[in-house]
Amino acid sequence: MVTAVCLNPSIDKTLEIDGFTYGGMNRVRDVREDGGGKGINVAVVASTLGAEAACIGFAGHDGFAVVREKMDRGSVKSEFVNIGGTVRINLKVLDREQGVTTEINERGPVVPDSAHVVMSNLVKKYAEKSTTMVFTGSLPPGCNPDYYRRLMGKARQANPQVKCMVDAEGERLEQAIQERPYLIKPNRFELETILGREVTDLSDVKTAALDLCRRGVGIVMVSLGDRGAFIADGQTCLGAPAIRVRVNSTVGAGDSMVGAFAVADAAGMDLEYCFRYAVAGASAAIMTPGTQLVRKEDFDMLLKMVEIFRID
């Protein structure tokens, strides 16, 4: 089973606008609301692509029905710790003319001290029955930057064989790397941030990824936007150009990349095939509007179009 840990779920409200004007009047063409949160997206994509998937985390009381409905619709098992308050709203403003999304995210409710032990026990419970656990997304107020690192330690205490994947940024990612995760998935900017140096081309990406592998990370998968993607496991380095598809929204592309990789990896596929799955998943996600995720028929079509090349 693939279990995603989502500590700060949201309601994603997408406003579609024809030509966004900064500082001016903008008229909304369409509005949609979906349950959101990176971990929830990962779990829904994993389920869509055929894996048994679960999602656990903290949840505000008010508004969580919208989030739960998304997981139920996606056939995702879920168990969340109620911390009171209101589920945060993340506003996505999609400029349809430019194909650009501007995001404005709330912080979320504060996690009380009493909820931390409950969460640790929940992580251990799901680690025992999972092949993979994905720790992803922002941390709510009340959680320190080392929270993912500590939860990964709890997961491995319960199941030393569980594969811990991390999709986070900044200090959260730096802390998680100390726990030697099975996989991390930074983008180029996040890679530059944790290494403290500029990354301009594939040679730089390769050097940076191999540095992280030497620090104990099993696999480094880097999303490069319209320049494609890169992956390394310390021995093999692979790249993939971006598949040319119509971009409806980039929201959820990284989550779909991780979810698709987790499905192939849990099925025992090799690195190249897992990477192929990941690239197809990310590409399928950007074809859907707003915060909608992967459609299986799009994924199946794109999987045949992925081109993988080796980087020496």
Does 207 fall in a domain? yes
Q: Tell me the pTM.
A: 0.92
pLDDT at 96: 84
Percent of the chain having pLDDT more than 90?
Answer: 79
Q: Which residues of the chain have a pLDDT value below 70?
A: 248-249, 289-291
Does 28 fall in a domain? no
Could you list the beta-strand ranges (E) of 37-124.
53-59, 77-82, 88-95, 100-105
Pick from 138, 143, 151, 54: nearest CA to 88: 138
Does 253 fall in a domain? yes
Tokens of 197: 């140096």
pLDDT at 97: 86
Does 173 fall in a domain? yes
Question: Which residue in the block uniquely carries the two structure tokens 């880097």?
Answer: 222
pLDDT at 155: 99
Beta 28-36 vs 10-17: how paired, if at all?
antiparallel
pLDDT at 291: 58
| CATH at 198 | 3.40.1190.20
Tokens of 44: 């829904």
Does 26 fall in a domain? no
Does 58 fall in a domain? yes
Contact 298, 164 (CB under 8 A): no
pLDDT at 127: 99
pLDDT at 258: 98
Does 52 fall in a domain? yes
pLDDT digits (tens, 9 = 90+) for 112-159: 999 999 999 999 999 999 999 999 999 999 999 999 999 999 999 999
Tokens of 40: 């929830």
Does 29 fall in a domain? no
Could you list the residue range(s) of the whole structural domain that residue 154 is in? 2-20+34-310
> What is the domain count for the chain?
1
